[in-house]
Amino acid sequence: MISREKRAAASAAASPYAHLTYQHRLNFYDEPPRYNITLDEFESCAIDRLRILSEIESCLARNRSPEDMKTVIDAQCRKFLPLDANTASKLVDVDAQRKRDHLGHFVLRLAFCRSEELRRRFVKSETMLFRIRYELADQNEVNQFLESKKFAWEKASNGELQSLKSELIAVHPRLPWPENGSPPAYYKVNWTSVPDLVAQRKVLLRLGKAYVPATEQESIVLQEFQERIESNLDRTAKALPRLDEDDRILPILGHLADGLLAGIPMDSSFAVTEGDGVTITADMIEDLSRKHFPLCMRNLHDNLRKDKHLKHAGRLQYTLFLKGFGLTLDEAIVFWRKSYRGGKVKDDDFNKEYKYNIRHSYGQEGKRADYPPMNCARIITSQQPSAQESHGCPFKHFSIENLDTALLTKYGSCGMNSSALPEINKYVKDGHYHVACTRVYEITHNIRKGEGLGGGESVTHPNLY
């Protein structure tokens, strides 16, 4: 008798893709990575994947149609996490692509196994990502992947199907049954493996088994994927305490978990612009703020105008935003000098209390670091502002009543009206602050619902608004 190992080796040798470490684009992530990587690779692979999962959450929160979601996520995957077929050009390193996909999944599994809420959201997003990839894959590719797995289901025999013909036809009246010849293909699985099909009465139940037509095979595969991810997450959670003393990895995992809880990827990079060829001056900020600033920055700007002052956290958040907006250091100094106390601050006092911090934010003082503008995740997860402070995210930190008032007051002239508030409030109550912000952008810029910043992309950074 030939051993299982020899059969597997013979099968691999017969495959034209036997040289690949990852022979399939689809992956159940049953085996963890077993190779050395750098911390940069550890984090970058996870962030790229987190971008995709966060966009999936955004699409689900916005009730995008399955086809729209598939289009948006496929575009995001091609941009951040491409996975080409085995038949791709020889110029494409498909193994390297699949390694990043594999590694990113396991890093996020470490980050999101630590609470029930994180696990639930991770499983939901990962299952949707697998579903989209499954539906976009070539059927031959899908069949090869499924053949490589050992699933706990069996194909029903023709005799068995014939004996149940009338009952199966009653459940699936549109499935063709030839008068002569083999009946349509069905699989027998435990009914607990297809709860969605059972709930929709799309399967015949007999003696604890569900008879699933081949046309509904996707549901079995997705349920199998979800159950394996859930089981593996539980095991990962039990092993996580062993990392408690690793001060290199734990901060990264916490950083990533904050990103998912905030609903957006923890990507702090943003290229400081020069106004797309237009020189931004201090005198232009007032007009630009009325329509083109997100609510967090509009709130800071209006409070600065009203109080002639901002607390330190607000000044830092707003200064870095204006820097990313294209305001030069010289113009920033002009702007803040005119803004503080109505421009009545003495030069010596301004230089002593404020100018150094402005120059520091622009990397011209202290350790001369090039500080990037704050992204939404950092703003959302920052310390709760006090009554005298204006920083943070209004969608998270404002009460619903204050949020509604702010939206109507600040964006009423840009198309915002009370009929849009219930939808925005629902996103806020569900914790999807970035989706609420994206919807405000669509309304105030007269953009079709679902388009976001273009192609369905959500607001993940104030400077992208």
Residues annotated as binding site for [4Fe-4S] cluster? 296, 376, 393, 437
Q: Are strands 209-213 and 204-206 parallel, antiparallel or unpaired?
A: antiparallel
Binding-site members are 296, 376, 393, 437
Q: Which residues pair with 213 in a beta bridge?
A: 186
Calculate helix-pair angle for 94-112, 250-262, nearest 10 degrees. 80
Nearest-angstrom CA–CA distance, 307 and 340: 9
Amino acid at 86: N
Please name the amino acid found at residue 96.
A
Angle (CA) 96 98 102, round 5°:
120
Euclidean distance between CA atoms 11 and 136, whole angstroms: 26
**463 within 8 A of 297, measured Cβ to Cβ:** no
Q: What is the CA radius of gyration of the chain?
A: 27
Tokens of 360: 């520091």
Structure-token pair, residue 98? 């699949």
For residues 461 and 47, give the distance between their C-alpha atoms in angstroms, rounded to a whole number. 15
134 to 45, 89, 138, 151: CA distances (angstroms): 21, 21, 8, 17
Residue written as token pair 């190992």: 5
If we measure between CA atoms, which residue out of 34, 9, 17 comes closest to residue 99? 34
Calculate the CA 321 to chain-centre distance: 23
**Secondary structure element (H or E) that encloses residue 190, with its range:** strand 186-190
Q: Say how many C-beta atoms besides its own lie within 10 A of residue 12's C-beta.
A: 14
C-beta separation of 447 from 438 below 8 A = no
Strand partners, 230: none
Q: Which of 428, 85, 448 is nearest to 263 (CA)?
A: 428
Closest CA to 185 of 196, 172, 197, 195: 172
Strand partners, 154: 188
Q: How far apart are CA 207 and CA 449, in angstroms?
A: 48
Instruction: For the chain, report the end-to-end CA distance as a whole number of angstroms.
Output: 65
The Cα–Cα gap between 121 and 105 comes to: 14
All residues at 6 or more sequence positions from 241 whose CB lies less than 8 Å from its CB, including other chains:
none
